[in-house]
Amino acid sequence: MKDYKHLINKKKVPAHVAIIMDGNGRWAKKKSLSRAEGHRCGAEAIEPLMDAAISLGIKAISLYAFSTENWRRPRMEVLGLWKLLDYFFTNKIDVIKSRGIRVRHSGLQERLPASSLHTILRAVEETKRNRTLELNFCVNYGGRQDILNAVNRHLESAKSGGPVTARDLEKGLFTAGMPDVDLLIRTGGEYRVSNFLLWQIAYSELIFMNVLWPDFKPRHLYRAVYEFQQRERRYGGL
């Protein structure tokens, strides 16, 4: 594969990259492994991704780890995902802290197992002063629900009956304080956004890659960022 890293203009790196980590199950099937093993190998792709993002100067990465629709999956697979989340933070928290990474959670806390919620909140608390990279885990997240929650938060706190502004809504989103997504990457060869960060990706550049998530390497991120830099972003203008 072409060495895209050395072609990247460090002055035009996307501030916020969002990734739909798709393909764990298909990767496992191709190798005659369990879906759980596919998810485990997919989790291992996150650490090199963090290092690659830091090397480029990316400020925020949002990972679609578990959607509000994923509850429809078989119960044992869902339980395995919670165990994997606990395993990931238990084994990676020291690395995360050593890199100066701040963990963030976007998503509903309802329905999350108590141990998994505790694991997430502990990682958020222990890294809240870090500033090198914001690593946003979207767990029990849905874009439509995010927008609905933001509107309802505003209505509950509003002192007047005036219209909701974009600024009002953004304050209530799970990603409040983060920049809008510049680049959305989806692995796995599918061409849809699957209810992910719908408000935040309004003017994102979208890149769909055929690589299955467990095979995602830093070189794939470099290629996506390079392609991002070749596009002209007009935001509706000329």
> What whole-number distance in Å separates Cα of residue 184 and Cα of residue 201?
7
Supply angle C-alpha 41, 20, 223, rounded to 5. 85
Of these residues, 70, 130, 149, 195, which one is catalytic?
70
Q: Specify whether 91 is catalytic.
A: no
Q: Which residues of 134-145 are buried (b: 16+ CB within 10 A; e: fewer)?
A: bbbbbbbbbbeb
Are 46 and 63 in contact, with CB atoms under 8 Å apart? yes
3-class secondary structure, 212 = coil
**Active-site residue, 70 included:** yes
Which residue among the candidates 3, 9, 22, 210 is catalytic per the annotation?
22
Catalytic center residues? 22, 70
